[in-house]
A and B are shown apart, each in its own frame.
Chain A
């Protein structure tokens, strides 16, 4: 990160903590980057000058205790949180704050708690992911691709989403996100409230999306062990600040998780 002469901050290739050096393999900068972003909900500071980023093709995990600001990171990207400072960049350009424009820029968000439309069928839910797409053939192609990835959605495509189990609804939520044809997929707590066997399946699918579809993924997750198994890099947040940024190995080797979860460090 650099501060220009007039005091504004620009995304740069300057090395930061951990392996992140602000560039991707092609030499360009981060695909998606938050630079010194602050978010406030009234008097509560949810994010405090937090800088995070994801390179093209990466799967990056964001972890931390409750209230650390994990979900706020994703909401700040999507224009759903009141950003009071800093900037979000996509392909080195400042990202719009209007959610519909952010989606058109190629970012899809799968919110916490699945939030599928229970009164719509599975097919209709998936179509909701790309109804603004006028090309029906492209829409059908995406639907086929999602159903190939999640065969259960194909089998139950005419059922109401309310008739699905929690794990199936999560698959549907991720599938609906993919229907937008995103370059970056933001996943907020994708395994929250799921049975352990389903959690394993969800992580396998996330990994498959990243590797096979080459979709860049930013995932906020409380299931630390499992997400570190599939992530390329991880951020640990504490009290709205980035407490650690590194490879899964570096996170495991350090005591950072123990420290933040037990409140042993003072991020302020």
Chain B
């Protein structure tokens, strides 16, 4: 993984004058410094409690953006399907861990299995992976623009399944009472414990992504991104590689979904609409393609923007949601015009 900001800070502390002189022309340094300073200032301004919540949201988005970057950034497959796998993970967690509390809600009954969180999480990841295998085999026939379109189709289908398979998902009513993690008698019902859990999960995802991308497997993916047919003529079965990274990425999204379901203790289809998927792709592009650090930076900038806009005094609260999308849209247009590789990316879209 690339952590330019850490190297920059160490250099700055050793020789501030020289480093500052060198860094004046280094846009990436200033972008890193700006976003991290913004995060620290935000935490101080809003207090630790809110910072923990924002941190949890960041970690979940970061898992999603790192996982999507494996497909979009490193392999060059522009997909907007990821929200589907995020939803599958969340719903799997919900169905596996919810208890019989639905009887009180007087709505449609669904299977309630009452599994513990730590048993349900790997299954949530596995279910997302299993669906990804089936979908990925079909998607492997496509590339470029058509790939985007079919991934769009999958996101729409997934949303409709969440909404309409009421005997399993309870449709628009959603699923309540999703289990919080517990080890023995210790329940992770505090925000800090949950933050620790998602950060550990994020660290695992980053490690896996880093290992994959620095291995020969990752090099083949980079080659596929650049020239699929040239890679094929050297004896690589590119469809296998594409399927493998697709499934791994979907499993990571399933992990994020499982964590999200447990954190919110409620899921409904509105969390998995196509717009969320487009936001996710925007985060990856914003941070930069084919860089893990860029994914983290993009997620951090997005979450700070999202949460920060709540506190703008001139913006009425009913316009906050739309305002966030407008700002992100403008940001992306500006980036595409002046910095198409994103904040710290390796490739242009």
The answer to whether A and B assemble together is yes
Instruction: List A residues at the B interface (Cβ < 8 Å).
Output: 78, 80, 99-100, 102-104, 108-109, 111, 115, 117-120, 124, 127-129, 131-132, 176, 180
Given A119-B347, A120-B223, verify A129-B234 contact (CB < 8 Å).
yes
Q: Is the CB of B216 within 8 A of A99?
A: no
Residues of A within 8 A of B234 (CB): 103, 108, 128-129, 131, 176, 180
Choose among B223, B225, B233 the residue that contacts A103 (Cβ–Cβ < 8 A).
B233
Residues of B within 8 A of A104 (CB): 235
Q: Is the CB of A117 within 8 A of B226?
A: yes
Choose among B219, B227, B236 the residue that contacts A115 (Cβ–Cβ < 8 A).
B227
List 7 A-B pairs, minimum CB-CB distance, nearest first.
A103-B235, A115-B230, A100-B235, A109-B233, A117-B223, A131-B216, A117-B226
Q: Is the CB of A100 within 8 A of B237?
A: yes
Whether, in the assembled complex, B232 has its beta carbon less than 8 Å from a beta carbon of chain A, the answer is: yes
Q: Is the CB of A128 within 8 A of B219?
A: yes
Given A124-B219, A131-B219, verify A78-B233 contact (CB < 8 Å).
yes
Residues of B within 8 A of A117 (CB): 222-223, 226-227, 230
Distance in angstroms from A143 CB to nearest chain B CB is 14
Q: Is the CB of A131 within 8 A of B347?
A: no
Given A117-B226, A127-B219, A131-B216, verify A99-B232 contact (CB < 8 Å).
yes
Q: Is the CB of B235 within 8 A of A180?
A: yes
Whether, in the assembled complex, B140 has its beta carbon less than 8 Å from a beta carbon of chain A, the answer is: no
Instruction: List B residues at the A interface (Cβ < 8 Å).
Output: 216, 219-220, 222-223, 225-227, 229-237, 346-347
Distance in angstroms from A251 CB to nearest chain B CB is 28
Residues of B within 8 A of A99 (CB): 232-233, 235
Residues of B within 8 A of A129 (CB): 234
9 A-B pairs, CB-CB below 8 angstroms?
A: A78-B233, A99-B232, A103-B235, A117-B222, A117-B227, A120-B219, A128-B220, A128-B234, A131-B220
CA distance A92 to B299 in the complex (A): 58
CA distance A120 to B219 in the complex (A): 8
Residues of A within 8 A of B222 (CB): 117, 119-120
Residues of A within 8 A of B347 (CB): 119
Q: Is the CB of A80 within 8 A of B229?
A: yes
Distance in angstroms from B235 CB to nearest chain A CB is 3
Distance in angstroms from B14 CB to nearest chain A CB is 26
Distance in angstroms from A99 CB to nearest chain B CB is 5
CA distance A267 to B198 in the complex (A): 70
Could you say which of A80, A118, A131, A176 has the most chain B C-beta atoms within 10 Å of its C-beta? Answer: A131
Distance in angstroms from B290 CB to nearest chain A CB is 8
Residues of A within 8 A of B225 (CB): 119
Residues of B within 8 A of A180 (CB): 234-235
Q: Is the CB of B233 within 8 A of A128?
A: no
Choose among A78, A80, A119, A176 the residue that contacts B346 (Cβ–Cβ < 8 A).
A119
Given A124-B219, A131-B234, 4 extra CB contacts under 8 A: A119-B347, A120-B226, A131-B216, A132-B235
CA distance A119 to B221 in the complex (A): 12
CA distance A104 to B236 in the complex (A): 10
Distance in angstroms from B180 CB to nearest chain A CB is 44
Residues of A within 8 A of B226 (CB): 117-120
Residues of A within 8 A of B230 (CB): 111, 115, 117
CA distance A180 to B236 in the complex (A): 12
Distance in angstroms from B343 CB to nearest chain A CB is 19
Residues of B within 8 A of A103 (CB): 233-235
Distance in angstroms from B244 CB to nearest chain A CB is 14
Residues of B within 8 A of A176 (CB): 234
Distance in angstroms from B227 CB to nearest chain A CB is 5
Could you say which of A99, A118, A127 has the most chain B C-beta atoms within 10 Å of its C-beta? Answer: A99
Distance in angstroms from A67 CB to nearest chain B CB is 20
- Closest residue on chain B to residue A186 by CB atoms: B233
- Closest residue on chain B to residue A131 by CB atoms: B216
- Closest residue on chain B to residue A161 by CB atoms: B226
Residues of B within 8 A of A131 (CB): 216, 219-220, 234, 236
- Closest residue on chain A to residue B224 by CB atoms: A117
Choose among B223, B237, B346 the residue that contacts A128 (Cβ–Cβ < 8 A).
B223
- Closest residue on chain B to residue A179 by CB atoms: B234
Residues of A within 8 A of B237 (CB): 100
Q: Is the CB of B236 within 8 A of A132?
A: yes
Could you say which of B225, B231, B233, B347 has the most chain A C-beta atoms within 10 Å of its C-beta? Answer: B233
Residues of A within 8 A of B232 (CB): 80, 99-100
